Structure 1
């Protein structure tokens, strides 16, 4: 298994770890206060060291102004605003955010409330149980993989699910994952998901190799992680379609996804 010495030395007790959340935003003024409050409450409830890196792509709706107000509430050490000049892509947003992460673990997730922070403690627990490099949320598995050890005060997660999508969107997502699983055999049930926990050095390594953009980006990240020998676990999550704003998935993204699967099949 490919793991650098720095990555090997990162395993430790949860009290010594800091979790950095990278939140790429574009027109998330209404969602940002909700997701930040939920993240802060989750980390504080579980006595975890944390920070949130907001990478805003020059949102015209005032997202950055809201972020500055939230900084006054939570502190500039907890809420770090690092804007960019415009929409430059999800992958480059993570690369930009990584430059400002002080934690040894990085969580990537959507800011539109599709991903609930309540699952983060389960991600961390599975990572600790098996010393994993990556834990990813899955909408398509009923149980954690590997199995999440039970404790008297902690129940197993519920089965993964999607809420708020019409039949067409569900079929597109299922079809995309089935196609990738058949062609690439990555051993992960939800390749297009974007709710994940990484060791920071692992994320840095994978993201520098990833070439795709858009809908294909998350899939390539996971395929390259497996090809590099990193260990991956899955936690079932409930995905809720965005509360405010519009979905960014279009027909062009579906076509580029199919092309991306083929490119990974012949190139990785």
Structure 2
């Protein structure tokens, strides 16, 4: 069994004041297998709705969580917020957690399992495999996800079912060793392409639940981000940038 003391949870935040307490409640109640500790890092990407104040108030009520809040003074994008959080992470492994309620932190333990067994260095949580709940939304989004995953697999020689998933678990030294550039939603295809080039890296995938949001509920990604993802697949996967 692999020694695993602490999981760093990096949360990019942009205008999530209304729901951020809910995801933090889930993380506070979360019990990881084998008493793995939690390092929770939130990066506010210059929110305009008081998200940072909401987080500080929550941290004051729950000092035992040791929440770490970092703030951008200029809005830079989700990828940039992730870069900031990844740089300061100190856990053995790092997982990405969106500030919304589309993913369930209880399922961290599913991603941790192949790591603890000594099989995996990186684990993707797939919304499209297994028998977990999956909210039915947006036909064209699902087609877009399938196309992007297919194109990514072509250039990385991986056989993922869900490259665009939020839930990605990385061995920290591998993740911090990547030179990441994409500041917006291009983070997903870039990090996938660059992880695939790490010598002898072992990538696994497990099925997870997905409680998708509508745009009225705060979903932010759009069609322009899909075209950027294709550009990133070509740049970082096909051209090896």
TM-score of the superposition, structure 1-length normalised? 0.80
How far apart, in 2, do the equivalents of 1:110 and 1:162 lie? 17
Structure 2 spans left out of the alignment, 5+ residues? none
Q: Which of 235, 238, 245 is matched with 2:206 structurally? A: 235
1:168 aligns with 2:156: no
Counterpart of 1:193? 165
Residue in 1 that maps onto 2:102: 114
Preserved CA contact (<8 Å) 1:22 1:106 = yes
Task: Return the match for 1:222 from 180, 186, 192.
Answer: 192
How far apart in 1 are the matches of 2:64 and 2:176? 24
Question: In 1, distance between residues paired with 2:34 and 2:15?
Answer: 30
Q: Which residue of 1 aligns with 2:53?
A: 65
Q: Are positions 1:212 and 2:182 aligned together?
A: yes
Cα distance, 1:245–1:238 mapped onto 2, change above 3 Å: same
Q: Distance in 1 between matches of 2:82 and 2:185?
A: 15
RMSD, matched Cα: 2.3
Say which SS state the counterpart of residue 211 (structure 1) adopts: coil
Partner of 1:258: 230
Equivalent position SS for 1:82:
strand
Give the secondary structure class of the aligned counterpart of 2:85.
helix
Residue 262 of structure 1 and its aligned partner are, at CA, apart by: 2.2
What is the 5 A alignment of 1:133-152? 133-142=121-130
Label 1:98 to 1:52 Cα distance change in 2 as closer, same or farther (>3 A). Answer: same
Aligned length in residues: 238
Unpaired runs of 5+ residues, structure 1, are 1-10, 143-157
Residues 1:233 and 1:184: Cα distance change in structure 2 (over 3 Å): closer
Shift of 1:44: 6.5
TM-score (normalised: structure 2): 0.88
CA distance in 2, matches of 1:255, 1:118: 32
Alignment match, 2:240? 267
Once the two structures are TM-superposed, the CA of residue 99 in structure 1 deviates from its matched residue by 3.6
Map of 1:5 onto structure 2: none
1:25-64 CA-to-partner distances (Å, cap 9, x unmatched) read 0011122111111112113686331121110012111111
2-structure distance, mates of 1:73, 1:45: 26
Contact 1:26 1:63 (8 Å CA) reproduced = yes
Query: CA deviation digits over 1:215-245, x for unaligned, max 9?
Result: 3321221121111132111110112113774
Structure 2 vs 1, CA of residues 225 and 99 (structure 1 numbering), >3 Å: closer, same or farther? closer
Farther off after superposition, 250-259 or 112-121: 250-259
Query: 1:127–1:233: 8 Å Cα contact kept in structure 2?
Result: no
| Bigger mean CA offset, 113-122 vs 38-47 | 38-47
